[in-house]
Each structure stands twice: as C-alpha cells, then as structure tokens.
C-alpha cells in the first residue's frame, strides 16, 4: 500500500491510496458512521415566543456541531445503564430575549464546545423570549445524521492511456490534451470511461480497480486526519467483535 497526499486544508484533505481492494475502500467510507459524536439529543422548552415551532428549533439545535471538551462515555456503555448521568450527558442552557438574532454561541454549559459560534438559530423580535434546557450525548451517524463528524468518499484513480483509435471521443484543444496526458487537467474526474481526441491523437481514461483517491471533509468536531484514523479504528473494532463472535459460535 502506498499513500500520496494531494491536498490539505483545515477541514478537508485528499490523498491517493494505491493497491487496496475496492471493498476495503468502501468499508473505510462506511465506518465514518461508526464514530461517536456529541450532539444535542433532547430539548425542553420553557419559553418560545419565536416564529418557529418547538420541533423546528429542536431540529436546528440538534444539527449544531459540538465537541466534547472532557471524557464522555457512550450512554449505552455508561455505568448508569442509559439513564443519563454526568458521565454520559452534557446539560446545555439557552436563554435569549429579543430583538436579536440568537446564535450558537449562546449555548451555555460545561463539558462542550460550539464549533461554529456564529451559526444562527432563530430571530427574536421585540419582547420575544426563548428559554430551553438541552441534553447532549454521544451518538453515531448510523442512528441519526446529527451525529455525523463529516464525510469520507473516494473515486477510482484515473489511468490515462494512449490508444490508436477510439469510437466515441470528446474533442479538446492541444493545451487541454497535454494536461490530460500529464494527469494535471481538472476535467479528468469527469472523463472516466471516456476518450479524448486532439489532432488525430487519442487518450483513454479508465478507472483503476485498486488505486483510489480519498476525500475527507470534517464538520469541525475532528480534524480530517483524526476523522480518517477514527474511521479505521471503528472498522478494526467491528472486525474484532466479529472475530470474537465467530470464535464462540
């Protein structure tokens, strides 16, 4: 296995992984849904004079990316056996009075951090009030999308071959043809299983069956690097559990 970094940003990275089977690439992609992530799970409203129903506000609150600042157990693995205690649950308060725009930064409590503090929640007009108490817990995206830490996806690495002739072709100018030949054209991802032509010369772009370009995009709870590593660890844990089951069977 060989890995080559293509691009690295604060919330997104891309890299090429060579010589792996497609099932393994897909298993890593799916394992991002197995990473425990903190999110608001229940909301109790004491006042809501805004234009939005309680259910809509609760949905918005649940989608605000949060990060645990101290150790937090998964509720089903906690000593409270799912009842909800300080070891597995974070209490969050929200209180505001209009006229104002209520932002995610106004979520108050201990044991968590708001990733995007300028994320708007609702607009309150004059004398309108909003007061709520929320409970946040760790969960997985297999349960609900609000527990997703980000996205992992991949494309087959393009193999560019010179051919003598092709039946269906896409004509490009000489400059773009050379960029495609050198693998530097931005059009390459859209040309998989296609052929390009320029002045009687042909290039065929075929998808590799063992080399893949991975893209990792974080929602902020983890860095892209951390997220990819956690996805691999989640896959390893699932395989370990499967092995234990088969040994006992």
Per residue in 9-18, pLDDT (tens digit) is: 989 999 999 9
Does residue 237 belong to any structural domain of this protein?
A: no
Clarify whether residues 70 and 142 are in a common domain: yes
């106004």: which residue's tokens? 106
Does residue 118 belong to any structural domain of this protein?
A: yes
Does residue 17 belong to any structural domain of this protein?
A: yes
Clarify whether residues 44 and 123 are in a common domain: yes
Q: What percent of the chain has pLDDT over 70?
A: 100
| Cα end-to-end distance, the chain, whole Å | 33
For residue 154, pLDDT over 90 is answered with yes
Per residue in 178-200, pLDDT (tens digit) is: 888 888 888 888 888 888 888 88
Does residue 249 belong to any structural domain of this protein?
A: no
Clarify whether residues 43 and 75 are in a common domain: yes
Burial annotation 217-232 (CB, 10 A radius, 16+ → b, else e): bbbbbbebeebbebbe
Check the CA dihedral 243-245-247-249 and report its sign.
negative
Distance in angstroms (rounded) separating the CA atoms of residues 124 and 185 = 49
Clarify whether residues 44 and 121 are in a common domain: yes
List the domain range (segments joined by +) for residue 164. 2-33+151-215
Does residue 233 belong to any structural domain of this protein?
A: no
Residues 6+ apart with CB under 8 A from 1: 17, 18, 19, 20
The 8-class DSSP code of residue 199 comes to T
Clarify whether residues 107 and 6 are in a common domain: no
Residue 154 parent element (H or E): strand 150-163
Clarify whether residues 92 and 109 are in a common domain: yes
Taking alpha carbons only, the member of 230, 214, 233 closest to residue 18 is 214
Distance in angstroms (rounded) separating the CA atoms of residues 137 and 74 = 7
Clarify whether residues 29 and 40 are in a common domain: no
CATH number at residue 65: 2.170.120.12
pTM listed for this prediction: 0.85
Distance in angstroms (rounded) separating the CA atoms of residues 51 and 124 = 8
Q: What pLDDT was estimated at residue 180?
A: 87
Clarify whether residues 162 and 180 are in a common domain: yes
Domain count, the chain: 2
Clarify whether residues 7 and 67 are in a common domain: no
Does residue 244 belong to any structural domain of this protein?
A: no
């Amino acid at each position: 296995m060989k890995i080559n970094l293509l691009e690295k940003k604060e919330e997104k990275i891309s890299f090429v992984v060579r010589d792996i089977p497609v099932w393994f690439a897909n298993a890593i992609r799916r394992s991002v849904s197995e990473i425990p992530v903190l999110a608001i799970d229940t909301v109790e409203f004491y006042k809501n004079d805004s234009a939005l129903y309680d259910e809509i506000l609760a949905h918005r609150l649940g989608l605000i990316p949060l990060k645990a600042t101290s150790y937090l157990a998964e509720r089903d693995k906690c000593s409270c056996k799912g009842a909800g205690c300080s070891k597995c649950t974070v209490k969050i308060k929200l209180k505001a009075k209009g006229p104002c725009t209520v932002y995610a930064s106004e979520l108050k409590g201990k044991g968590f951090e708001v990733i995007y503090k300028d994320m708007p929640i609702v607009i309150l007009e004059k004398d309108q009030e909003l007061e709520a108490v929320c409970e946040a817990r760790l969960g997985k995206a297999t349960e609900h999308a609000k527990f997703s830490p980000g996205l992992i996806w991949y494309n087959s690495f393009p193999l560019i071959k010179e051919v003598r002739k092709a039946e269906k072709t896409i004509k490009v100018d000489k400059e773009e043809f050379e960029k495609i030949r050198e693998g530097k054209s931005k059009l390459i991802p859209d040309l998989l299983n296609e052929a390009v032509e320029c002045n009687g010369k042909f290039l065929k772009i075929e998808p590799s069956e063992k080399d893949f370009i991975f893209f990792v995009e974080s929602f902020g709870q983890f860095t892209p690097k951390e997220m990819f590593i956690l996805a691999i660890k989640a896959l390893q844990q699932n395989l370990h559990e499967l092995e234990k089951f088969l040994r006992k069977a």
